[in-house]
Amino acid sequence: MSHYEYLQLSYANDLNRVQVPKYQRGLVWTKEKKNNLIETLHKGFPFGVLLVAENDDSHRTLQLLDGQQRLATIKDYQQNKVGYWMELNVESSNELLDKINSIIRNDSDTVTEQQLEKLLNPDYELADWTDDLDNISKTTRKELRDLITETRKQINDYINLDTLMIPVIKFQGATADLPEVFENLNKGGTPLSKYEVFNAAWINDRLTLPVGSENADEILKNVKDYYIGMGQDGKFEVSDFSEDELSDSREISVAEFARALGRFVLTRIPALMNDTDKNRNEVGFGLLGIISGVDNKKIAEVHTKFDQIQKGLEGTLESVSRISNQLNETFDKILKQQISHSKKAKAKKQVYSNALTSTFKLLSYFASLWSLDEEDTQQTLRNLPGYYVSDYVAGLWNAHGDQRLSDYYPDIRNKNYMNPVNQEKFRTAFVRWADENTGIRKTFSRDLQALITIHSNLTYLALDIPHGEDYEYEHIIPKKRVLDSDPTPAKVHLSSLGNGMLLPKSDNNHKKDNTLYEADDSGKYDQLIRLSSYPSKESFETSFNALKEQDFDTVNVQIENRANNVISAIISGLLTN
């Protein structure tokens, strides 16, 4: 039995039945894609369908499930026909402009492209324009008005919206099947994420935010900001969103809560993860799985626990805020990279090297800390930095992270971070990782930058060397000297762990293609050299001689020697922290 039927809706007469629900995403189409759709409509070619579901109301309104981009573009065209026509008919537009200006023959009255768009607008009174032209006869004024009027007719006829019929599929199946419907409809193009699917499927599962709670107020603001931003960025008004009504009711869907919770967390843990839409969804929905005890592999079932989530809402937000702040304080010490001193910035902004963070790994920290007493919490926090690096180099979260995450759930606890990392296993995995990631490239990868940052913060930067400026990633064996012998590079491990460090920007600029020994004439770098596992003068001499002879194996041995020292310093620093 089919769970859908095909409809044909008149754009002019039936489209008021179609409502855009709150869960729809903002517009993502580029101008090119919009123009392509309008040209397709002009040619009368098929242009895709809208997916709708019938609302349970007396007016037989339809809820838009998919096709917002197409519908919004057609509405945008209706409001801006002239602009679309000029972009899609550049040659005709330019010919009209040239013809008008050749008739006027007066530089002071020359019509620009922007003015032509204004003249072609049917609401503009053409007589106001022609009456202001100097030394133009009545006949010529009429000729100019006729040119514009004729073009206006062409624009009006370019697409006849009064007769445009839009193909629609009306879904009649169960709401629970909507995620699968979305996935099948979005195999290509710009696909909907599973979280956007949940926004559709969970629209009737509602939570009420408590009054008098700063945390709940922040969640409410996050929901509002999402929809306000959606309208500003997409230039499309969401039909059933009212900021005032939301403020009064304080009622949101479980999906809205998850997304807002993700932002709630990410604003508190900049050291560990950047605040992006993707991260907000993954963290927010993942946290709801932990809170409600729903396995992340079955995250689609979270909405069935909305009663449980509602009952503990205030306590949940307090716990999430507390754990977020604890995690950020713990990792700020080892992941801070630099402070932005941009003159355009209103305030200094701390920048972090958090490339070793993955969503499931981060969620495991929340799961492991959930409901712990103070003593166990502090013990776990002390151990987490060690696991942060060791789990990365061992590749423990690279695959099946959702399956591994469930072992840390509060009601399961098959795994935890209560005991320190095994130092021997840590070193073995780290050395193996370094051997496999040789860095034969001109720049440092993001994960190597993160490890270089951690090493720097655990050693010489831990002393707060007072340079007061930004830091830069620097090749210890200067890049130019390596590339002079190995241009690609194809042999030298130029951008590997053993050949990188963070240097204050002014020092890096000062030393240029020299070593710190060569750039130092006053002993200012002695402490930095001593604490950073910096190679000896003899090691540099060996490397530079080997480069001249293109003995790249010897160069790499020198780099690997420092890598082993860096690995030892990282392990020691993390496990004795």
> For the chain, which residues make up each domain, given as ranges?
1-195, 202-421, 427-575
User: Structure tokens of 359?
Assistant: 């969503």
The answer on pLDDT for 350 being more than 80 is yes
- pLDDT score, position 179: 60
User: Structure tokens of 226?
Assistant: 């999402």
Judge contact between 469 and 519, C-beta under 8 A: no
Confidence of residue 557 (pLDDT cuts 50, 70, 90): very high
The average confidence (pLDDT) of the chain is 87
The half-sphere exposure of 542 on its side-chain side, counting CA atoms within 13 A, is 13
The predicted model gives 149-157 an average pLDDT of: 94
Q: Which stretch of DSSP H or E encloses residue 340? A: strand 336-340
DSSP state of 191: P
- pLDDT score, position 235: 44
The predicted model gives 150-170 an average pLDDT of: 92
The answer on pLDDT for 188 being more than 60 is no
The answer on pLDDT for 466 being more than 50 is no
Distance CA 35, CA 391 (A): 48
| pTM, two decimal places | 0.74
C-alpha distances (whole Å) from 491 to each of 433, 494, 549 are 18, 9, 13
The answer on pLDDT for 194 being more than 80 is no
Residue type at 206 in one-letter notation: R
The half-sphere exposure of 391 on its side-chain side, counting CA atoms within 13 A, is 24
- pLDDT score, position 178: 63
The predicted model gives 507-520 an average pLDDT of: 84
- pLDDT score, position 193: 66
- pLDDT score, position 299: 87
The half-sphere exposure of 31 on its side-chain side, counting CA atoms within 13 A, is 4
State the Cα angle at 276 between 388 and 26, rounded to 5°: 155
Judge contact between 167 and 5, C-beta under 8 A: no
- pLDDT score, position 46: 84
Confidence of residue 1 (pLDDT cuts 50, 70, 90): low
The answer on pLDDT for 298 being more than 80 is yes
Distance CA 83, CA 438 (A): 53
Distance CA 266, CA 328 (A): 10
Residue 500 phi/psi, 5-degree rounding, is -130, 150
> Which of 34-43, 105-114, 230-239 is modeled with the greatest confidence?
34-43
Residue burial 47-64, b: 16+ Cβ < 10 Å; e: rest: bebbbbbeeeeeeeebbb
The answer on pLDDT for 58 being more than 90 is no
Distance CA 492, CA 569 (A): 24
Query: Which is more confident, 129 or 236?
Result: 129
Confidence of residue 349 (pLDDT cuts 50, 70, 90): confident
- pLDDT score, position 236: 47
Lowest-pLDDT choice from 23-27, 201-205, 247-251: 23-27
Confidence of residue 386 (pLDDT cuts 50, 70, 90): very high
Phi-psi category of residue 44: left, alpha or beta, with phi > 0 → left and psi -120 to 50 → alpha: left
C-alpha distances (whole Å) from 488 to each of 193, 430, 442, 479, 482 are 39, 27, 8, 11, 10
Confidence of residue 181 (pLDDT cuts 50, 70, 90): low
Q: Contacts by 421-428 with C-beta closer than 8 Å and gap 24+? A: 421/383, 421/386, 421/387, 421/390, 421/574, 421/575, 423/571, 423/575, 425/390, 425/394, 426/386, 426/389, 426/390, 426/393, 426/571, 426/575, 427/567, 427/568, 427/571
The predicted model gives 205-216 an average pLDDT of: 95
Of 497, 499, 518, 509, whose CA–CA distance to 469 is shortest?
Answer: 509
- pLDDT score, position 577: 65
